[in-house]
Amino acid sequence: MNDDTFQNAVALPFFPTIVWRQEVVPERAAALNRDLLASIERILTPRPKIAAGTGWQTEQSLHEHPDFQPLVALIHLAAESALNFLKARHAGIVITGCWANINPPDARHRAHTHPNNYLSGVYYVKTPAGSESITFTDPRVQKVVIEPSFEESTAMNSTIVNLDVVAGSLILFPSWLQHDVGRNKSKDERVSIAFNLMFKGYAETMSPPTWQGSVPVS
């Protein structure tokens, strides 16, 4: 078949799954992370006992704590940017939960989602070498029914994506997107702060039908 058989041949990436990655400038991240680590350490002292291979998680109310307001401001800024990218109409977005994850060596977070929210995310406070990634899994569970071998792994053919992060990385993703965090291979603790976001007044402003009926009800 000749190369001139087709015209206007394009690959159209319909229905994409978007993950937003943003980096706080290093100088600001260093100061922020120093303060966050100090606050988390105060909350954790004394540390409860945990099982091997697990870590500590705080209650989900950090966004209400004064020490975490600088991070809250960054989260809202990142969320507004993501919603603007999507051109989403909304009456504001609120943090519904925010908690710290402290993973000692060998600890991990198994695959999970964050139900009943629109966006979720994680901010990285401390990422020692050997603990600097988060893994996202293709939500199309039937894709692996027939899967050829590929010459190269790309964003268009991968079913698992390992996203590298550093201290100061802020990652946003759809709350339904399955993700996990691999075993902490370092000799130090990995510290992150996870959060969920939902539309303000969702039931009142967004749940009602978006279409208009043709027959009025008197």
Distance (Å, rounded) from C-alpha 178 to C-alpha 173? Answer: 10
pLDDT at 15 over 60: yes
Q: Where are the beta strands (DSSP E) in 104-217?
A: 109-112, 119-126, 133-137, 160-164, 169-174, 179-181, 190-199
pTM score, two decimals?
0.92
Query: What pLDDT does 8 receive?
Result: 86
Average pLDDT, the chain: 94
Radius of gyration of the chain from its Cα atoms, rounded to whole angstroms:
21
CB atoms within 10 A of CB 47: 11
Q: What's the confidence (pLDDT) of residue 9?
A: 85
CB atoms within 10 A of CB 121: 24
Answer for the pair 179, 133: CB distance below 8 angstroms, yes or no: no
Altogether, the residues listed in the chain come to a count of 218
**Cα gap 110→97, rounded to integer Å:** 19
List the structure tokens of 164: 């590298």
Mean pLDDT of 94-102: 97
**Placement of tokens 């990385």 in the chain:** 169
| Cβ atoms within 10 Å, residue 68 | 23
Q: Are 191 and 126 in contact (CB under 8 A)?
A: yes
Report whether 102 contacts 55 (CB < 8 A). yes
**155-187: per-residue pLDDT in tens?**
889 999 999 999 999 999 999 999 999 999 999
Q: What tens digit of pLDDT does each residue of 117-159 get?
A: 999 999 999 999 998 899 999 999 888 899 899 999 998 899 9
Say yes or no to pLDDT of 1 above 60.
Answer: no
